[in-house]
Amino acid sequence: MKRLPIKTNALSLAFVAGILLSGPGAAAAPGEVVARIGQEAIVRTVAEGLDVPWGMAFLPDGRMLVSERPGRLRIVHRDGRLSAPLTGVPEVHARGQGGLLDVALDPDFARTRLVYLSFAEPGPGGAGTAVARGRLGEAGLEATQVIFRQQPKVGGGLHFGSRLAFSRDGYLFITTGERYQRDRAQQLDNHFGKLIRIWPDGTVPPDNPFVGRSDALPEIYSYGHRNMQGATLHPDTGRLWIHEHGARGGDEINLPEPGRNYGWPVITYGVDYSGLKIGIGTHAPGMEQPVHYWDPSIAPSGMAFYTGEALRGWKGNLFIGSINSPALYRLEVDGTRIVRQERLLADLGEQIRDVRNGPDGFLYLLTDNRNGRVLRIEPAR
């Protein structure tokens, strides 16, 4: 069934913009309220001074790990203080969209102390998306080792992905980009534009859909993707939801299934940046339809289902940051359908790179700039 496009300026969609209490992009000290969302929620600065932050993960004691794309990993303390850069972070290819990307904790972190990083890894031929893990010690990561490398490495600084998501049954999903080599997203002899599924130690599950095929790489779970920069589990079903960037229009949300082809660049709801058509249209036999798409593009970034109780009426909603039309999108979900969209914080003046649930029941955001901030959405008192 064809999904109707979401027009971001359509009058039929609810539009809520944050009312800034300080000018767009203005510096705000930790604790300062910088915006309101209607009469119900406020946005407060938790930390500032981060250099192009990309991903965050909460430690059990309430502190958080935050990655900075130039290649640094820091701890943000509960009072907003930033640690010195942690040791043990791999060398990154910090060019274009590359660098240090997502950060995730092992599901059994309390016992293992393992931290996972996705990053653009330099090497012969150029760079590619990679994932490393190390044990968090006093000064940083210890015994860091790479557990996945995108094959092959190529030149250029575009479309690395990449988010990390652990499934409830223990698999590690890695989203990638097609490195701006469109046609290779349809080929199974490379990791470009592929959703990857491995065990946390980097080994391949024997039930991956292409295991045993001589013409396919065994880590591949699904293919035909463009540039996936969001991944999260549905809080009730545990099902993986991902999103990916289109070109000019055609950003998509997908619910990936093993071995399925999601169409890029044969089918898409977008066009080339030049305005020329891409592929053959929006449908083709054997290729999956998105559950939702945007036209024009919003350039989606991190996403999370809100699972807390503090922000009344939002539990179960899907929140997605935007780096093209800077805003936070709230999507109401009915099963696997997006039934309503609301655009928040459009006046914030900062790109939102990541969205996470906090252990305190609030929603946390990262802003993507040279003086990046951690923001917290909490109820207005």
| 67-91 pLDDT, tens digit each | 999 999 999 999 999 999 999 999 9
> What value does the mean pLDDT of the chain take?
93
- Does residue 159 have an active-site annotation? yes
Mean pLDDT of 308-326: 95
Task: Give the up-direction half-sphere exposure of residue 345: CA atoms within 13 A in the CB hemisphere.
Answer: 29
Mean pLDDT of 264-275: 97
Q: Which position among 159, 191, 243, 245 bears the catalytic label? A: 159
Judge whether residue 14 has pLDDT over 80. no
pLDDT score, position 325: 82
Q: What percent of the chain has pLDDT over 90?
A: 90
Q: What does the DSSP 8-state code read for residue 292?
A: E
Strand order in the sheet with 126-136: 100-105, 114-123, 126-136, 141-149
Q: What is the 3-state secondary structure (H, E, C) of 173-236?
A: EEECECCCCHHHHHCCCCCCCCEEEECCCCCCCCCCCCCCCCCCCCCEEEECCCEEEEEEECCC
Mean pLDDT of 146-152: 98
Q: Between vectors from CA 171 to CA 123 and to CA 235, what angle results, nearest 5°? A: 120
Instruction: Give the domain ranges of the chain.
Output: 14-379
Please tell me the pTM assigned to this model.
Answer: 0.93
Judge whether residue 30 has pLDDT over 90. no
DSSP-derived pairing of the beta strands 337-344 and 14-15? parallel
Per CATH, the number for 14-379 is 2.120.10.30
* Confidence category of residue 225, pLDDT binned at 50, 70, 90: very high
* Confidence category of residue 8, pLDDT binned at 50, 70, 90: very low
Mean pLDDT of 357-365: 97
Contact 125, 154 (CB under 8 A): yes
Mean pLDDT of 23-42: 76
